[in-house]
Amino acid sequence: MRLAGKSALITGGNGGIGLATARLFVAEGAKVAITGRNRQTLEAAAAELGPNALALVADATDVAAMEAAVARAVERFGKLDIVFANAGIPGHTPLGGTTREAFEKVIRTNVTAVFFTVQAAVAQMNDGGSIILNGSVISVLGSPGYAAYAASKGAVRAMSRVMASELSPRGIRVNVVAPGAIRTPIWGAAVATPEAEKAFEARIGRATPLGHLGEPDHVASTVLFLASDEAAHIQAQELFVDGGATGAPSGAPIYR
Ligand code: NDP
């Protein structure tokens, strides 16, 4: 068990990548507090995860709610060893078709809320802990229509480096996991029906050197690695889990 005796907080732990990570953490011996806004999916996740999980309704953009969630997690499981700031939203923000509100919603959720999640958590964290932020390949791909989202994930990378500097004296590591396209509900209409999902899968596969869409477990196992002692000397890094999409784009099937 790679996380025996550890306690963890995962924001957005009621679905997609966050829930896959919570499952793996519990299987590896951790006690895990998960947060999200949707009470129903949180309760379903907690029922599935069992007694070593605690589900807490908390909007990550609400600083007081996150502080309260951290306090409840600590009360139940003791001081935190691991934080996965995973909650995030997509957003279509093309030049010429975007309101300030739409743009700022993405920044508020994916940047400001991540900062305040970490701020609330570090006050209740053991020295020597591990913080993982969820980034994205979109931060480097220049994908059209994604200005706010790309900026938010670039900001996540930049913030992680500052946090790593500030927290190194306490032995707390801060790293980023940067997924490529992963099969989760975040893709909305693109994965809403079996036909749409099939077309999406084929499109992503053609643009990915390894030839297929990523699964939540691909990211969860990377987060587990970064959270565990196996990554004890890894600090301020960004690990891409994208089948080669950013590192070797010319190897994608469309170029063969
Ligand atoms: P999902 O939509 O499946 O999950 C998003 C999670 O975030 C949900 O649990 C949701 O819960 C939670 N969440 C969203 N907004 C808030 C909020 N304001 N407060 C609390 N919780 C919130 O998406 P993924 O699992 O795919 O996404 C997880 C992370 O991975 C995101 O940061 C995303 O940007 C990143 N990512 C995903 C990729 C992909 O292809 N799937 C690729 C690259 C990065 P609730 O609705 O209950 O609030």
pLDDT of residue 201: 97
Query: Strand, helix or coil at 132?
Result: strand
pLDDT of residue 87: 98
Q: How far away, in angstroms, is 105 Cα from ligand 1 center?
A: 14
pLDDT of residue 15: 97
pLDDT of residue 112: 98
pLDDT of residue 168: 98
pLDDT of residue 166: 98
Q: Where does ligand 1 bind, in terms of residues with CB under 6 Å?
A: 11-12, 14-18, 35-38, 41, 59-61, 86-89, 109, 134, 136, 179, 181-182, 184-186
- Helices 113-122 and 63-77: crossing angle, nearest 10°? 40
- The string of pLDDT tens digits covering residues 155-192 is 999 999 999 999 999 999 999 999 999 999 999 999 99
pLDDT of residue 127: 98
User: Listing from the earlier edge strand, what are the strands of the sheet with 31-36?
Assistant: 53-57, 31-36, 7-11, 80-85, 125-134, 173-179, 238-241
pLDDT band at 69; cut points 50, 70, 90: very high
**Residue showing tokens 């030049």:** 95
Q: How far away, in angstroms, is 134 Cα from ligand 1 center?
A: 9
Main-chain dihedrals φ then ψ at residue 143, nearest 5 degrees: -65, 125
- The string of pLDDT tens digits covering residues 199-226 is 999 999 999 999 999 999 999 999 999 9
Q: Which two three-digit tokens encode residue 237?
A: 């890094």
Which among 25, 77, 149, 240 is annotated as catalytic? Answer: 149
Atom of ligand 1 nearest to the CA of 42: 47
Top mutation candidate among 143, 184, 203 for ligand 1, by most atoms within 8 Å of CB: 184
Contact residues for 134 (Cβ-Cβ < 8 A; gap 6+): 17, 84, 85, 86, 88, 156, 176, 177, 178, 179
pLDDT of residue 194: 95
- The string of pLDDT tens digits covering residues 95-152 is 999 999 999 999 999 999 999 999 999 999 999 999 999 999 999 999 999 999 999 9
| Residue range 51-66: mean pLDDT, rounded | 98
pLDDT > 70: percent of the chain? 100
149 flagged as catalytic: yes
Q: CB 254: neighbour CB atoms within 10 A? A: 11
Instruction: Decide if 237 contacts 40 (C-beta within 8 A).
Output: no
Main-chain dihedrals φ then ψ at residue 154, nearest 5 degrees: -65, -40
Closest by CA position to 46, among listed 28, 64, 65, 26: 26
Q: Residue 47: exposed, middle, or buried by beta-carbon count in 10 A (0-12, 13-18, 19+)?
A: exposed
Main-chain dihedrals φ then ψ at residue 239, nearest 5 degrees: -110, 115
Contact residues for 13 (Cβ-Cβ < 8 A; gap 6+): 19, 21, 22, 32, 33, 34, 35, 36, 42, 45, 55, 84, 86
pLDDT of residue 65: 98
CA distance 102 to 104: 6
| Residue range 61-66: mean pLDDT, rounded | 98
pLDDT of residue 124: 98
